[in-house]
Chains A and B, each alone.
Chain A
């Protein structure tokens, strides 16, 4: 690797310009107006909006961007854990996403507020005393409001601390160039990975799985991790494209890196995700135990079915075929187009995780599959199928917040970890 320089001399092409700043401001405006509009619709009762739907929709939008940020944290940590050289020049871009974990808890405050005023049952039915039955009562040691709140605080503390540590230390290295900072991150990263894995798993249980408090799946945490991969690696490609369009980072993120970003999206975001999703679905379908099938019945028997099919083809088969060849992965516009598509698929994936509801009583009374499916399609059985403008507004709004957060982070620190000791390896990196 002798031919690449040992470090990068920071120039204009490594710093966010006025375009990024402008994009950040625009994105904040989009964020605020999206949320405001959604709130008006929901609390004013326009277009079928309701406060209940608003909060659930909020949870969907929140988890969509939270998974992306968690995916970025995971990526950054893995680079340190494996002492990766190839990624040293692109890691900072990921860190700009990770840094959002320092403020993302703010978007969760409405839920804390909701729970505080005793209205948590609007989103998580087990919090509503009227819904408590012997099974939920049996879970009270875990599913109770105080413990749930404490756990949520712990997750955010872990995310905050990890983000602060890895982004902060990396940025500090820009100034000092001290390789000991790299060693420091290497030293602490395994511990952070353990904390991260547990936080992600239980956050998945608390916020998504407990939406149907009866239902359970040991795979659920892994599933959310797989979703995080997809969300993050898609966004990674898109944001890199945007930055490079402004003539920045052209020498640091090469076609070789693009190919590898594509491989990661392909391998982890698409194939691994499908593997986990398929395993969970297949095992539940095959054993056909009523306690478990309910969750999927609500998703495959009624109006949600086309959405599930969309995931099968849009989240797996089509991108799988497209990304098999290296030619798509090495072509930035094509790769970016696929990544935009995958971001959409990711949002649908989260939407299907959060929005459908299991009509326990109707399932118990239904005579057969066709009976249930017909009822769900006609609307006489409620499977939570109410796609609303609110969902889209909140999704766009939250993406606005995320983009503005990324842009703000980019204006604070360079776009590349210029003095990372492995930067020369990254610059000289070749796939073939």
Chain B
């Protein structure tokens, strides 16, 4: 074979079969990795853009808090929720944010089990994103309980009145599913960060930093025994987190699917919701990754190949979502159940048809661009598509929830109109999300430094750069030992 990696630009998304392009670009040694990754957290002053972004987002987050206060003092009437749409924006936002929270654990757990080494560059901030998204998600049902001072009734706490939550309600299953997911994701994120926190502790230039990072690095000294236990725990958590990726959004889908409502009760909901969540989550990862790699100079770690891989996942999961939409529509007709057919035809032609077609365009049509490598590797095009998906996945939940608008009693049919508080809360939740994310970028290692190093040739004992003697491979005629 005359094709050789060495003759090809290493930042290309191309890979000659049999060769693996490097996952980290422009690095001849491990030493520069740490300083480059930690630049965002260690630079004495973050860029001006960070201050602006933080001001805007924390302002919006404060508005979110203000709105919650207003809600508490006034009651759920401040929302647009009204019979028959008894849960409008709060549940839409809840499902939307839980969905966003899927990519992180998928990347960290499932891609880990599938040995997808490219995940190391994006897993850390995808996991962070997961946690912040679940925080936003958890807020909405938490404040939608009517009498908020009794919100603790969500949990099955023994009490003298023998009052128990309704165990047969999928909303209660949600409490368990989401809190389990949050706990495991947080543990996973934190555990993976311990070695990097220790690195930051060792490089700390102020007492406060040394104390803070020192406290959270749990006395990590990088001994072999530490690593051994760390890797076992990591594998175990990955195995535990994998079913959670499926379960949490399956349970969220049960909120709708166990009902008897046309448009909600359909058996494909669990896997369809999971695929949709991964779809929306990955879109959000790309949304954040593209500017982050630009601003903090992480292009050597989050390469075009990483982005392309994520775009492929978006194409795949988008197609699964498209498949599910079609199956629903087809079976609605095939079932010959008039109410079922009505709901679906009404979605596409009724009073909220505009929302339906936004959803179809954003979730099904726009990702089709990713069939073409040119589109997968073009920053403007991918930003366009992932923005579409972000919007589309919110509208998907909106469309599903709004099936309530025209229920079995035509006299109660109405046009659902969200209130200004609804909108303010939706925007405010984005503020909360971005505030947390910006703080994360400023204070924590955005890329799993220790993990990235393990996928570099320097960490491979079979590689000359990893210390191996130059081996004599008779068949190796492809100029494999290219320098990155």
Contacts and interface: CB of A to CB of B under 8 A. Distances in A.
Given A138-B336, A283-B254, A287-B258, A219 B268 contact: yes
A276 B335 contact: no
Contacts of A280: 267
A268 B12 CA distance: 33
B475 A5 contact: yes
Contacts of B259: 287
A86 interface: yes
A253 B260 CA distance: 50
A283 B323 CA distance: 20
Interface in B432-484: 462-463, 468, 471, 473-476, 478, 480
B327 A284 contact: no
B443 to A, nearest CB: 35
A179 interface: yes
Given A2-B468, A190-B371, A222 B18 contact: no
B123 interface: no
A291 interface: yes
A287 B327 contact: no
A217 B328 CA distance: 9
> How large, as a class, is the contact surface on chain A?
35 or more
B212 interface: no
B463 A2 contact: yes
B15 A83 contact: yes
Contacts of B265: 283, 287, 289
Contacts of A201: 323, 327
B104 interface: no
> How large, as a class, is the contact surface on chain B?
35 or more
B331 A6 contact: no
A165 to B, nearest CB: 17
A32 to B, nearest CB: 39
Q: Determine chain A's interface SS by DSSP, over half rule.
A: helix
B337 A291 contact: yes
A289 B335 contact: no
A236 B345 CA distance: 45
Contacts of A139: 334, 336
Contacts of B480: 2
A1 B16 contact: no
Contact of A6 (B243, B266, B336, B475): B475
B271 A6 contact: no
A280 to B, nearest CB: 5
Contact of A194 (B269, B319, B327, B476): B319
Contacts of A271: 243
B475 A283 contact: no
Which 7 pairs between the two chains have the least Cβ-Cβ distance?
A421-B18, A6-B475, A218-B268, A219-B267, A421-B17, A182-B17, A138-B336
Interface of A: 1-3, 5-7, 83, 85-86, 135, 138-139, 142, 177, 179, 182-183, 186, 190, 194, 197, 201, 205, 216-222, 271, 275-276, 279-280, 282-284, 286-289, 291, 420-422, 424-425
Interface of B: 1, 3, 15-18, 20, 115, 243, 246, 250, 254, 257-260, 265-271, 315, 319, 323-324, 327-328, 331, 334-337, 371, 462-463, 468, 471, 473-476, 478, 480
